[in-house]
Amino acid sequence: MQSAVVALGNFDGVHLGHQVVLQKAREQARKHNKPFGVVTFEPHPRSIFAPADAPFRITPAHTKRRILADLGVDACFEIPFTYEFSKLTAEKFVEDLLIGQLHVSHAVAGHDFVFGHKRGGDMRLLKQLMKKHQLHVDEVSPVYDATHVLWSSTRIREYLQKGDLKNAAAALGRNWEMEGIVQRGAQRGRTIGFPTANLSLDDYQRPRFGVYAVTVNHAGKQYKAVANIGTRPTVDGERESLEVHIFDFVGDLYEQSVRVGFVDFIRPEQRFEGLEALKDQIKQDCLVAKRMLA
């Protein structure tokens, strides 16, 4: 895509701070009648340099692509991030990649954007290198919420770890979602009258383990539901998973894609003495979830 105006960054979460950067790039693209693109990196560099870290993604690649498309991005340039790529100097990142390969005409990034080997490039250097080719750079200042807290992916991860869905949604500009393919489980939920759609947690940031009021989007429709995320201590207490009981749904979701939107936290995960006690608690959880989602 020749002469695109691009937003630069990892954009994990595509939160409201990121959206200011994206909006600035989109405005410049429309103003100059050029394509609007995003240059991002997959996998996230943290996955390469700290592979032993706990899962941390707010929006894995497939989710990020969908959100960016919804925001009007014409093209998403996903740069494969490898250890070898990380050795590319800041100068070569701009000269060879942005200008030589992608033919970027105008770049937009946040004030803290860094690039190149050992994060050797910053916004000052980006402006210098682009200016040599008569190309433009816009730097976006930090973006804060109404309480003067900086919108950041790190802050959102902290909210999710606390089960603070309201503040996470406020920073994201939407409810946080997990999406994936419904897997076949042991079907224990059916035996107690609460069938569930089970999803793998993959490399998503783990929110606080417990029970949530959620929505489920599937095939263009949205349903209300209750979900448990954790290790199922009453049943086996081992494998981490997301189990969703959808209200008023009839059908088979196995091997189909769904999006689970987290609306509110109900209670922490806990172990019950048996399936009957668990069943009674799920009934109460369903009532609470329906009130929260009303």
Positions annotated as catalytic residues are 243
Locus of tokens 């250097």: 125
Q: For residue 3, how far is the Cα from the chain centroid? A: 28
Q: What is the distance between the alpha carbons of residues 145 and 107, in angstroms, rounded to a whole number?
A: 25
Answer whether 229's CB lies under 8 Å from 242's CB: yes
What's the rounded Cα separation, in Å, for the pair 254 and 185?
Answer: 10
Residue 95: CA count within 13 A, CB half-sphere: 9
Tell which residue, 13, 36, 34, 40, has the closest CA to residue 23: 36
Dist CA 157 CA 120 (whole Å) = 26
| Sheet strands side by side (includes 106-110) | 75-80, 36-42, 5-8, 106-110, 136-140
